[in-house]
């Protein structure tokens, strides 16, 4: 049986991990391009020849969000097929 207190504890731990991932950054630069990515795999910034590319950042983040949503839906279906309840 599922313990509600355990679920609450796991959700809190997940939230803390998410906050920690948002504080990790990696920066790559090459030939006038500069990209900063966070640990939660979101683009923090994109620059081309020193100019910030906000629209490009937003469209990439939007596409990543959509593909993650689709992948999660597919994974939930597969886990449900394997007999994992609530997935």
Could you tell me the end-to-end alpha-carbon distance of the chain, in angstroms, rounded to an integer? Answer: 15
The whole-model pTM stands at 0.74
pLDDT at 69 over 70: yes
Note whether residue 62 is domain-resident. Answer: yes
Partners of 34 in the β-ladder: 29, 47
Note whether residue 34 is domain-resident. Answer: yes
Which pLDDT score is estimated for 1?
Answer: 65
What domain range is 30 assigned to?
4-81
Residue 78 tokens, joined: 């597969």
Note whether residue 19 is domain-resident. Answer: yes
Note whether residue 87 is domain-resident. Answer: no
What is the tens place of the pLDDT at every residue in 8-56? 999 999 999 999 999 999 999 999 999 999 999 999 999 999 999 999 9
Residue 36 tokens, joined: 């900063």
The residue ranking higher by pLDDT, 74 or 2, is: 74
Do residues 24 and 39 touch, judged by C-beta distance below 8 A? yes
Number of domains within the chain: 1
Note whether residue 72 is domain-resident. Answer: yes
pLDDT at 71 over 80: yes
What is the tens place of the pLDDT at every residue in 75-87? 888 877 776 665 5
Note whether residue 58 is domain-resident. Answer: yes
Residues 8 and 15: their CA atoms lie apart, in Å, by 11
- Can you tell me whether residue 53 is helix, strand or coil? coil
Which pLDDT score is estimated for 84?
Answer: 65
Note whether residue 17 is domain-resident. Answer: yes
Note whether residue 86 is domain-resident. Answer: no
Residues 70 and 77: their CA atoms lie apart, in Å, by 11
């Amino acid at each position: 049986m599922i313990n509600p207190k355990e679920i609450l504890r796991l959700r809190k731990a997940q939230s803390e991990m998410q906050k920690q991932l948002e504080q990790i950054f990696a920066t790559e630069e090459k030939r006038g391009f500069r990209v900063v990515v966070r640990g939660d795999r979101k683009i923090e910034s994109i620059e081309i020849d020193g100019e910030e590319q906000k629209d490009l950042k937003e469209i990439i983040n939007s596409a990543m969000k959509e593909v993650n949503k689709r992948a999660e839906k597919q994974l939930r279906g597969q886990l449900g097929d394997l007999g994992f309840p609530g997935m």
